[in-house]
C-alpha cells in the first residue's frame, strides 16, 4: 500500500502533463491563405511575410499556410473572394481587381487614370475612402485587415510603341475578368480579351493576344519580354492595392489575442511589402530596358489624350462604384 501511495502523485503529475500537452496541441491552428502570385513576386512575398510574423508572434500556436497561384480556386483568380466568403478559403492576400466582381466598390481603384501617383493611392487607402471600402468588404462576410500594393499597371504589346489611343486600335489585349477593364480598353479602340494569368502567357507566346497590362514587378519577374512583349508604355492608368483579409466566421472563432496578432502582423507585412514594391520600381525598369524592351513614357499632353478617351468609362462606372465613395476619394487625392 505504501508503494502504491508513492506512485499515485507521480501518475497524477504525468496525467496532468498529458492533458496540458493535449490542450496546447488542440490550441495550435493552421489557416489557409490564398494568393494569385508566388513568392517570386512581391505579392506572394507579402503573404509569406504575414505567415512568418504570425508564427513568430503566436509562438507557433497559430500558423498560416500560403497557397499561391490561385490553386485553391483551380487557377480562377476572380473566384477567390467568393471562396473566402463561403469558407472554402480561410484568408487571402488579394487584389482589388480580382475581388471587384463581388465588391463593386473596389472598382474605385480601377477607374482609368483616377489616381495619378503613389501619394494619391496612400491618401485614399489611408483615409475615409479606404474606410468606406473596408466597410463594403466586411458587409459581405469578409474581414479586411490591412493594405498592400501590386502597383501601377503598365501596358505592353508586341506590335509597336503606344503613345496615343489610336495606337490601340484593333489590338487584342489580355485583361482580367472585370467588366470595367473590358469597357476601358474598348473605349480606347482595343479588343480586350479576358483570360486568367495562367492562360495569358501561352496566349502571348503564340500571338493569340497582342498585349497585356500588369505592374512592372510582374513584367520583370515573369519575363514577359520573352513572350514577344517588346514594347512597354508607362501610363499608370490604374493602381491595384492588395488587401489582407479573413473569412468572417473564421474570425469569430479566434480569441482577441489571435485577432490582434493577425491584424497587427497584416499591417506590418503590408507596410513592408508596399515599401519594397515601390523601392524596386526604378531598378526593375532599368532591368527591363537592359533586356531590350523599348519603353515609352507619355508626355502630359499624350497622357491627357488617354484620360479624355476614357471619360465615358467614368460616366458609366461611377454610379456603380458609388458617387459618395468616389467624391470622398477625389477629395483625399486633391488634398494630398
Of the candidates 45, 224, 297, 52, the residue with the CA atom closest to the CA atom of residue 149 = 45
Taking the C-alpha atoms of residue 197 and residue 253, their distance in angstroms, rounded to an integer, is 34
The CA-atom distances, in angstroms, between 28 and each of 23, 50, 60, 66, 202 are 9, 17, 7, 17, 42
Report how far Cα 291 is from the mean position of its chain's Cα atoms. 27
| Mean pLDDT, rounded, of the chain | 92
**Model's pTM, two decimal places?**
0.90
Chain segment 293-309, per-residue pLDDT in tens:
999 999 999 999 999 99
- Rounded to whole angstroms, the Cα distance separating 176 from 171 reads 16
User: How many whole angstroms from its chain centre is CA 104?
Assistant: 16
pLDDT tens, position by position, 145-157: 999 999 999 999 9
Dist. CA 294–CA 316, nearest whole Å: 34
Domain ranges of the chain: 30-334
Beta bridge partners of 194: 175
pLDDT of 24 over the 80 cut: no
Residue 22: pLDDT above 50? no
Q: For residue 27, name the pLDDT band (cuts at 50, 70, 90).
A: low
Q: How confident is residue 135, by pLDDT bands cut at 50, 70 and 90?
A: very high
Q: What is the mean pLDDT of residues 230-253?
A: 98
Q: What is the pLDDT of residue 13?
A: 43
- Match domain 30-334 to its CATH number in 3.40.50.880, 3.40.50.150, 3.40.190.170, 2.40.110.20: 3.40.190.170
Distant-in-sequence, close-in-space partners of 319: CB < 8 Å, separation ≥ 6? none
Amino acid at each position: 500500500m505504501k508503494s502504491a501511495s508513492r506512485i499515485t502523485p507521480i501518475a497524477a503529475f504525468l496525467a496532468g502533463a498529458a492533458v496540458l500537452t493535449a490542450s496546447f496541441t488542440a490550441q495550435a491552428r493552421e489557416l489557409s491563405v490564398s494568393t494569385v502570385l508566388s513568392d517570386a513576386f512581391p505579392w506572394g512575398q507579402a503573404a509569406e511575410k504575414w505567415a512568418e510574423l504570425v508564427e513568430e508572434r503566436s509562438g507557433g500556436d497559430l500558423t498560416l499556410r500560403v497557397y499561391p497561384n490561385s490553386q485553391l480556386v483551380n487557377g480562377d483568380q476572380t473566384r477567390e473572394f467568393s471562396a473566402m466568403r463561403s469558407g472554402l478559403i480561410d484568408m487571402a492576400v488579394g487584389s482589388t481587381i480580382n475581388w471587384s466582381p463581388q465588391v463593386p466598390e473596389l472598382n474605385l481603384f480601377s477607374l482609368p487614370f483616377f489616381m495619378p501617383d503613389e501619394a494619391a493611392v496612400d491618401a485614399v487607402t489611408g483615409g475615409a475612402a479606404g474606410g468606406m471600402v473596408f466597410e463594403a468588404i466586411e458587409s459581405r462576410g469578409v474581414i479586411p485587415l490591412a493594405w498592400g500594393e501590386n502597383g501601377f499597371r503598365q501596358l505592353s504589346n508586341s506590335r509597336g510603341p503606344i503613345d496615343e489611343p489610336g495606337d490601340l486600335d484593333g489590338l487584342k489585349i489580355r485583361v482580367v475578368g472585370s467588366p470595367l477593364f473590358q469597357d476601358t480598353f474598348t473605349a480606347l479602340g482595343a479588343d480586350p480579351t479576358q483570360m486568367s494569368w495562367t492562360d495569358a502567357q501561352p496566349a502571348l507566346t503564340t500571338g493569340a493576344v497582342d498585349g497585356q497590362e500588369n505592374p512592372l514587378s510582374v513584367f520583370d519577374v515573369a519575363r514577359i519580354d520573352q513572350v514577344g512583349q517588346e514594347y512597354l508604355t508607362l501610363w499608370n492608368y490604374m493602381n491595384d492595392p492588395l488587401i489582407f483579409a479573413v473569412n468572417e466566421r473564421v474570425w469569430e472563432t479566434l480569441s482577441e489575442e489571435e485577432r490582434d496578432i493577425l491584424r497587427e502582423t497584416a499591417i506590418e507585412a503590408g507596410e513592408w511589402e508596399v515599401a519594397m514594391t515601390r523601392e524596386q520600381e526604378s531598378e526593375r525598369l532599368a532591368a527591363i530596358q537592359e533586356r531590350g524592351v523599348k519603353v515609352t513614357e507619355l508626355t502630359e499632353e499624350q497622357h491627357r489624350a488617354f484620360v479624355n478617351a476614357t471619360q465615358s468609362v467614368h460616366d458609366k462606372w461611377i454610379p456603380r462604384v458609388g458617387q459618395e465613395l468616389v467624391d470622398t476619394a477625389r477629395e483625399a487625392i486633391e488634398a494630398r
